[in-house]
Structure 1
Amino acid sequence: MDAVAHPPMLVLVRESRSLTQGQLAEVMQKLDGSTSRISQGYVSRAEGGRLAVTGDRLELYAHALGYPVTLLCLTEQQVGAGAGLVHHRKKQAAAAGDLKRIHALLNLTRIQLRGLSAGVPQPYRAGIPHIEVDDLTTPADAARAIRTEFGVPPGPLGSVVKLLESAGALVVCRELVAPVPLDSGTESVPVDAVSCMPGDEDPLVLLNSGTPAERQRFTLAHELGHMVMHRVPHADQEPQANAFASELLMPTRDIRSDLRAQPLSVQRLLELKLRWKVSMWALLRRGHTLGVISDWQYRTLAVEMSSLGYRTSEPGPLKEDLPTAVKSIIAWHLDQGTEIAELARSAYLTPDEFLTQYATGQGSVGAPWDNRCSTPTATRVGEVVR
């Protein structure tokens, strides 16, 4: 039988490229170059399942979107339709178009990693427990339980990424939105990360590329909080995830003595930042939340830090917490002699985009593999007509 595109997948891949139906039709028309007219209406009917996309038209569709034909034909159950499956760490509502693209990237990354993980020996993974937050169990209690469950010693947490990966989660850096230099309590960060935890697949976190290390750790802890506490979404889930992240990274029993050891000043916040590996702003808010400093002291230090320019950039930059699990999966394939083209097919990507998304030194088969958070440069198909 001839291959036939799956209508929901047509929507997903188009949204991953940030194309409207009209823009995609224009790209297809330019590539086709024939007298046949490809309109927005054609794309709409294809996505709605009112016409079958097969043969040469399927090849054209895939070429216009920059994906293999096999991806467009995939019958795939998406996450995100159920609101409880997808969580964001965000400071304000993101644009609808951005959210569609981010959800599409999340689903496509799931598909890619599932294909790449097939047949790869898996290390022991502890799993992410569910802890119900109620009148008796707080988000801080849940964070303390996680530290105990995973044997985290008192004091600063070494690596949030390693904690997530040891629980079975995969962390991948992707360009979600244009990053800002620092999370300083402003409303300027639309989306820091997005995560999902489908029941029959590895939990997945997409971290926004370019996120500063001090916010990156808090963001990942925040997403872990969602995975632990929130099976069903509700109005309080964002402050609960923040409270979880604060306790996970700055446990009350340990951080309170550090915050009280000396009068809290900008210099002292910088010293604590280097020890606890969180932003000075996070430490300032933690001190205020725990009652170590008064409202007046909090406002005074916030004004001083703002006057020093720390709302956009803090001194003492921290080292990135780099993911390793996906890197290990690809390294295993390379050790088995798997070719790049075969890896790309497993991930439903073209070889060029596979190298862009999953390798450093793109285009070089023997290049070292790395998952560091550098901005992907995948082809923006829509730029053909813009």
Structure 2
Amino acid sequence: MTGTSKDAVAQPRMLVLARESRSLTQGQLAAAMSALDGPGSKISQAYISRAEAGRLAVSGERLKVHARTLEYPVELLCVTAQEFGAGAGLVHHRKKQAASAGDLKRIHAVLNLTRIQLHALLRDVPRPAGKGIPKIAVDALTTPADAARRLRAEWTSSGGPLDSVVELAEETGALVAYRKLVAPVPLDSGTESVPVDAVSCSPSGEDPLVLLNVGTPAERQRFTLAHELGHMVMHEVPHPEQEKQANSFAAELLMPARDIRAELARGQVTMSRLLALKARWKVSMWALLRRAHTLGILSDWQYRGLAVEMSSLGYRTSEPGTLESEIPTAVASMLTWHFEQGRDVAELAGRALLSPREFTDLYLRCPAPSTGTASRSLSSAVGEVTR
């Protein structure tokens, strides 16, 4: 990898990713760099623009100022496409309609940088071969529900609720992590326009990656991850109906019609019934209500009546019967292996091209298993850097 020698030169693509990951405009970065550079500095927005377009080389002291301002190691700004690939490729979001253009740029940058970090951290780590995520084209003969049923048949032989969607995703070889994508909002399950719950990519030759938004209610988390799996399975190129298709896929994966139809149709669909099914199927009451409607168990007016009742009870922001969030373990296990080999936080942060403090915040203070070796190793590693 490119070092920090006097000949080190920043890569335009990395300058853009680093800046956007910090939610800075070119003008804001120029002002911050000028303040750090001291009196008489002539760093302008035009300079940043030319540097990011590759029209001038950033090296020497100017490269160091760039890195210090963005709070990344110089090495990150010098990463080449040959070292970590061209990019994430097609990126999918769950419900991106309410996110600003600036938020989406930052989220894409965070996704790409997480790819780079995990690629480096996974090097030399022994991992069991994943099942792989099959590609299933949706067409006139194959619906999103068909794709979900095929996946269920391949991945698990049992019917009924899935024990863990995170575990299922990780068994395929996908990596799942939490990141602060946008400020979380209350449940708000009755609307289709909410901030980004997750973002995912599945670049050729790499492990699929899903970033879940920190703070997303557990009631929506499983559906969100199932939605992202739907994108990975069905969408290799953009599709105008891809969000609806991913929602249909997720509904069938989590609540297969063959199994849940009888449970929803058994007696009257009431608030107490939806709450009991929520505990069993580990999805929100809103998801169950919509499923009953799409399966024809509830008429339009019955659906609207129950939706109004749920809204009046405040269930758009908080439902009864809180669910437990599912915790990814693959990345934590990878870090545990590194620590067992005698590596410390500083070495792993260097691999990931992060400062030790940011590495700790992103990888050691993130949600982790509450028991077992991985949790103990990660806790002790956090202690090393915080003492």
TM-score, normalising length from structure 1? Answer: 0.91
Aligned to 1:369: 378
Aligned partner of 2:145 among 130, 140, 145: 140
Question: Partner of 1:373 in structure 2?
Answer: none
Where does residue 65 of structure 2 map in the other structure? 60
Q: Return 315-324 or 39-48, whichever deviates more.
A: 39-48
Q: What runs of 5+ residues in structure 2 fail to find an aligned partner?
A: 1-5, 368-374, 380-387
Deviation at 1:190, TM superposition (A): 2.2
Q: In structure 1, give the amino acid aligned to 2:378.
A: W
- 2:87 counterpart residue number: 79
2:102 aligned to 91, 97, 104, which one? 97
Give the Cα separation in 1 of the matches to 2:140 and 2:37: 62
Pick the aligned partner of 1:47 from 47, 52, 57: 52
Q: Which residue of 247, 252, 256 maps to 1:247?
A: 252
The percent of aligned pairs where both chains have the same amino acid is 68
The number of residues matched between the two structures is 364
**One of 163, 180, 197 as aligned partner of 1:175:** 180
Task: Determine whether 1:237 maps to 2:237.
Answer: no
Cα contact 1:3–1:54 (8 A) shared by 2: yes
Is the 8 Å Cα contact of residues 98 and 193 (structure 2) preserved in structure 1? no
Give the counterpart of 2:345 among 340, 345, 355: 340
SS of 2:378 mapped into structure 1: coil
Q: Give me the CA root mean square deviation.
A: 1.6
Q: Verify: 1:164 aligned to 2:169, yes or no.
A: yes
Q: Is the 8 A contact 1:359 1:367 kept in 2?
A: no
Aligned to 1:217: 222
Q: Which amino acid aligns with 1:72?
A: L
Residues 177 and 212 in structure 2, CA contact (< 8 A), matched pair in contact too:
yes
User: Is the counterpart of residue 349 in structure 1 residue 350 in structure 2?
Assistant: no
2-structure distance, mates of 1:51, 1:278: 52
Please state how far the C-alpha of 1:93 moved relative to its aligned partner. 4.4
Q: Using the alignment, how far apart are the partners of 1:289 and 1:178 within structure 2? A: 31
Which residue is 2:291 aligned to? 286
| Match of residue 380 from structure 1 | none
Select which of 107, 120, 142 maps to 2:112: 107
* 1:268 equivalent in alignment to 2:277: no
| 1:369 alignment partner AA | L
1:208 is aligned to 213
Q: By how many angstroms is 1:261 displaced?
A: 1.4
1:227 to 232, 240, 247: 232
Q: 1:79 touches 1:86 (CA, 8 Å); kept in 2? A: no
Alpha-carbon separation, structure 2, partners of 1:101 and 1:91 = 13
Alpha-carbon distance in 2 for matches of 1:177, 1:36: 34
1: CA distance, partners of 2:200 / 2:344: 30
What is the letter of the counterpart of residue 355 of structure 1? T
The code of the aligned residue for 1:118 comes to R
Aligned to 1:360: 365
Tell whether 2:21 aligns with 1:3. Answer: no
Q: Secondary structure at the match of 2:93?
A: strand
Give the letter aligned to residue 290 of structure 2: R
- CA change 1:334–1:314 in 2 (3 A) is same
**DSSP-derived class of the 2:66 partner:** helix
Counterpart AA for 1:360: R
The match for 1:32 is: 37
Residue deviations 1:204-259 (CA, integer Å, cap 9, x gap) = 00111101111000000000000011111111111110000000000001100110
Aligned partner of 2:75 in structure 1 is 70
CA deviation map 1:17-45 (0-9, x unaligned):
00011111111111111423211111111
CA 1:339–1:91 in structure 2 vs 1: closer, same or farther (change >3 Å)?
A: closer
1:180-218 deviation line (CA, Å, top 9, x unaligned)? 111412244121111000011100001111011110000
4+ long deviations beyond 6 Å: none
